[in-house]
Structure 1
């Protein structure tokens, strides 16, 4: 399982803390400190999901390019971006806005450079 690359966004803890006094949502980490980021396991899962989606979308994008030769790659990528946003908005998929941007950047890289097909976090 490749580790998430440095450019993959890390989620922060989401919480609703009521009251009049400002509060800071954090979790205790080893060594007695605190972190506002999700645990490594959740970060890894979010990366795995994003990498898997980007990889699957390569085939979809190439198929659409063949089926619709008049479409530019940018038009096709924009349609895919809109589709991802709609899936997230409907609750079908769980990707943050930053993760969606990363998926699109990864998809573009895979379309432009098929040899970059190795997972983004793996050693090359």
Structure 2
């Protein structure tokens, strides 16, 4: 099986931060039992998989909401983005702002692909 390719537009999570105090500090992230000082390609691939999966789940959910409420895509997406942002803000979901932006862009792309109709719907 070939290695999965991460799209060029997927955000790179370079951890930037500042911690006050006189002593020098090192910004790290815990990954299981290890602490890492920079995002690895493996960690980026994992984040990509999570974000892509969410976009694939949000697309049919958005289609359903559009159908139930007679919303256009342009009406539905801001509501969806607000809902995602609220879950991130309330610490229900762990995504960076750049990842949320990418998820919404990807969800739009998925929604723009026509859904094939089953023979019974024709």
Category of TM-score, reference length = shorter chain: 0.7 to 0.9
The reply to whether residue 13 of structure 1 matches residue 15 of structure 2 is: yes
- Structure 1 residues 8 and 114, CA gap change in structure 2 (3 angstroms): farther
Question: What is aligned with 2:6?
Answer: 4
Matched, 1:40 2:41: yes
Are positions 1:56 and 2:53 aligned together?
A: no
**In 1, Cα distance between the equivalents of 2:91 and 2:62?**
23
- What TM-score do you get using the length of structure 2 for normalisation? 0.74
Partner of 2:111: 111
**More off after superposition, 46-55 vs 7-16:** 7-16
Matches of 1:51 and 1:40 in 2, distance apart?
16
Tell me the distance in 2 between the aligned counterparts of 1:16 and 1:94. Answer: 20
> What's 2:79 paired with?
79
Q: CA deviation at 1:50?
A: 0.4
The higher relative CO (CA closer than 8 Å, separation ≥ 6) is in 1
Distance 2:108 2:26 in 1: 37
Query: What is the count of residue pairs matched by the alignment?
Result: 107
TM-score (norm 1): 0.73
2:74 & 2:26 partners in 1: Cα distance?
41
Contact 1:10 1:37 in 2 (8 A): no
Give yes or no for contact 1:11–1:38 (8 Å, CA) kept in 2. yes
Structure 2 unaligned runs (5+)? 29-36, 116-122
